[in-house]
């Protein structure tokens, strides 16, 4: 009986962890499933070792593999220089605009928008992972919580689903004015996709290139265009 109770408890824990993994954003599910698989493997190994069906060396090797898997993210955080150097070698490739609910990126080469949700019912989800119904639900949330986020999301939806009702009209038709009062130099440079040492000529060139990519014929966003204009005005004084 005690063994049966233990097995049922383990099964319940595994089920709860599985349901938790299923609720994660799609890009995080694989890692959660791997983690769950490792937990199950450790439980099985411990059970076999305790019952004398597995040699202790096998148990030790399994534990070592689990430890290496768990230490992976920590090792990456301990060596951020590698990621930084790699990014610097590639050079700026995208602009980033952040609001209360969203962080959206504009690819400088293709003009494609992408991003992630920072707040709300789909927090931590990538916009590209969401279907139209989920985007509409997120739009309703943004319209209630933050008009800037709603306008930014409308630009993304219009580019991904051209000709569809992106919900822009439901935001009241208000467009962001060129007011950079709350902007910092770091934010302005991120919007233009420039480094800290950018010259005035580089700022002007980046602004000109990005505005061209945001032309309505290319699925442009009025909100993003306004933010890019704000960034240029802020940096050039």
DSSP, residue by residue, 119-158? SSTTTT-BGGG--HHHHHHHHHHHHHH-HHHHHHHHHHHH
Residue 104 has pLDDT above 60, yes or no: yes
Paired tokens of 44: 């099985």
Whole-angstrom distance, CA of residue 229 vs CA of residue 175: 13
Residues 144 and 231 in one domain: yes
Residues 192 and 113 in one domain: yes
Residues 189 and 97 in one domain: yes
Note the pLDDT of residue 99: 93
**Averaged pLDDT, 138-159:** 93
Highest mean pLDDT among 45-54, 74-83, 114-123, 205-214: 114-123
Whole-angstrom distance, CA of residue 218 vs CA of residue 196: 29
Residues 107 and 224 in one domain: yes
Whole-angstrom distance, CA of residue 149 vs CA of residue 63: 45
Residues 111 and 132 in one domain: yes
Residues 116 and 74 in one domain: no
Residue 188 has pLDDT above 60, yes or no: yes
Residues 117 and 185 in one domain: yes
Structural domain for 119, as ranges: 92-236
Give φ, ψ of 142 to 5 degrees: -65, -35
Whole-angstrom distance, CA of residue 7 vs CA of residue 1: 10
With beta carbons less than 8 A apart as the criterion, state whether 158 and 176 touch. no
15-58, pLDDT tens digit by residue?
787 777 777 787 777 777 777 777 777 777 666 666 666 665 55
Residues 129 and 167 in one domain: yes
């Amino acid at each position: 009986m005690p063994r049966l109770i233990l097995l049922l408890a383990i099964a319940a824990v595994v089920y709860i962890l599985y349901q938790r993994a299923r609720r994660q954003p799609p890009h995080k599910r694989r890692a959660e499933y791997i983690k769950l698989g490792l937990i199950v493997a450790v439980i099985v190994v411990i059970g076999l070792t305790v019952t004398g069906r597995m040699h202790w060396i096998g148990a030790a090797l399994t534990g070592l593999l689990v430890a290496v898997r768990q230490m992976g993210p920590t090792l990456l955080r301990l060596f951020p220089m590698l990621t930084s150097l790699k990014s610097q070698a590639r050079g700026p490739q995208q602009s980033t605009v952040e609001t209360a609910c969203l962080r959206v990126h504009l690819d400088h080469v293709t003009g494609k928008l992408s991003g992630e949700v920072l707040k709300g019912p789909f927090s931590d989800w990538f916009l590209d992972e969401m279907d139209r119904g989920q985007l509409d639900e997120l739009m309703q949330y943004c319209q209630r919580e933050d008009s800037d986020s709603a306008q930014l999301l409308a630009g993304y939806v219009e580019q991904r689903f051209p000709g569809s009702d992106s919900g822009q009209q439901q935001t009241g038709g208000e467009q962001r004015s060129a007011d950079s009062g709350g902007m910092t130099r770091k934010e302005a440079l991120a919007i233009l996709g420039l480094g800290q040492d950018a010259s005035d000529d580089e700022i002007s060139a980046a602004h000109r290139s990005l505005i061209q990519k945001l032309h309505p014929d290319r699925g442009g966003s009025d909100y993003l265009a306004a933010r890019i204009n704000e960034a240029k005005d802020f940096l050039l004084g």
